[in-house]
Structure 1
Amino acid sequence: MKYKVYLSGEIHTDWREQIIKGCEAKNLKVKFISANTDHESSDAAGDHLGLESDPFWRDHKSAKVNAIRTQTAIKSCDIAIIRFGDKYKQWNAAFDAGFCAALGKPYITLHDENLVHALKEVDASAQAWATSPEQIVELLAYTVEA
């Protein structure tokens, strides 16, 4: 079986690449899918539907267009990895975690210890909490190879 893993969350570091390379090094049967990680094109996802003068409606349209991708990816994945970084608030990642929980999709959170309190409800529904991409690779290896 080839596992489909959805990578959600923070886009300002190379955590996705670290996980992908770590799984490749272990020859794990894993296919990765992700949300759009290009901030500008994500913000502009709804622009082809007509320009908006009010930023709220631009964001609203783009969020709906982006949801086509994220909801489809989450529904089709076997497991989600949801990364919360320190620098920015990843409200979209929290929403993805809630969506996974509502669908009964297993997910693992990835964040530093300083976010434990802020993410207590998100972590409570997760199957695991990791602090490094290396830990994620080990969790996936166990899941795929066990």
Structure 2
Amino acid sequence: MELIVYLAGQIHDDWRDRLRRTARERGLPLIFVGPQENHDRSDAIGEIIKGEQPNAVYRDQAASEFNNLRTRIWMQKADVIIALFGEKYRQWNTAMDAALAIQSGKPLILVRPETLHHPLKELAQRAQVVVETPEQALEALAYVLE
């Protein structure tokens, strides 16, 4: 059995690459999908498809349409969502993805450092599993696949 895993969360470090590499090394039958990881392309996709926008607000709005489309499609195809909250960046997209996972009934693994326990307590109560590292999330999936 293969699982499709949507990797929600910040795109400013290599956590997705580490997870993919470790899963591959362990031979876990996981297919990883997620948001556009090329930040510049993600920000520009609205203008790439629709053409130049009149200002930054419209540019962001146009990009959001296509990024939301991508997110919705891949999350609906996913068997499970891993949502990573880090400490360094505001995590609005991660919060929206986690809420969408909950709303759609998708199993959610919430990854958050202990320091974010309080601000994420309600979200944590709706997740199936809460861990502190992406590696622990991968261990949870390895257990499911046993």
Question: Do the structures match in fold with TM over 0.5?
Answer: yes
Match of 2:19, as an amino acid?
I
Do the aligned residues in 2 keep the contact of 1:112 with 1:131 (CA within 8 Å)? yes
* 1:80-119 to 2 correspondences below 5 Å: 80-119=81-120
TM-score between the two structures when normalised by the length of structure 2: 0.94
Q: Equivalent residues in 2 for 1:19-98 (5 A)? A: 19-48=19-48, 49-98=50-99
Determine the structure 2 residue equivalent to 1:15: 15
Gaps of 5+ in 2: none
TM-score by length of 1: 0.94
Task: Report the Cα distance in structure 1 between the residues aligned to 2:134 and 2:84, rounded to whole angstroms.
Answer: 10
- CA RMSD, 1 decimal: 1.1
Shift of 1:53: 2.8
- Give the 3-state SS of the residue equivalent to 1:53 in structure 2: coil
Match for 1:130: what amino acid? V
Q: Distance in 2 between matches of 1:51 and 1:117?
A: 42
Q: How many Å separate the matches in 2 of 1:56 and 1:120?
A: 32
In the TM superposition, structure 1's runs of 4+ consecutive aligned residues that sit over 2 Å from their partners are none
Structure 1 alignment gaps of length 5 or more = none
Mapped to 1, the partners of 2:55 and 2:124 lie a distance apart of: 35
Q: How much does 1:54 deviate? A: 2.3
Shift of 1:119: 1.3
Q: Could you report, residue by residue, the CA deviation over 1:15-52 in whole angstroms, capped at 9, with x for unpaired residues?
A: 11221122122211111111111111111110031222
Percent identity of equivalent pairs: 38
| Structure with larger RCO (C-alpha < 8 A, sep 6+) | 1
Aligned counterparts of 2:119 and 2:55: Cα–Cα separation in 1: 31
Amino acid at match of 2:84: R
Q: 1:137 maps to which residue?
A: 138
- Mapped partners of 2:72, 2:78: distance in 1: 10
Distance 2:54 2:121 in 1: 38
Q: Is the 8 A contact 2:84 2:134 kept in 1?
A: no
Q: Which amino acid aligns with 2:139?
A: E
Q: Which residue type is aligned with residue 19 of structure 1?
A: L
Query: Which whole-Å CA distance do the structure 1 matches of 2:18 and 2:132 have between them?
Result: 13
Q: Count matched residues.
A: 145
Letter in 2 for 1:77: A
Q: What SS class does the counterpart of residue 88 from structure 2 fall into?
A: coil
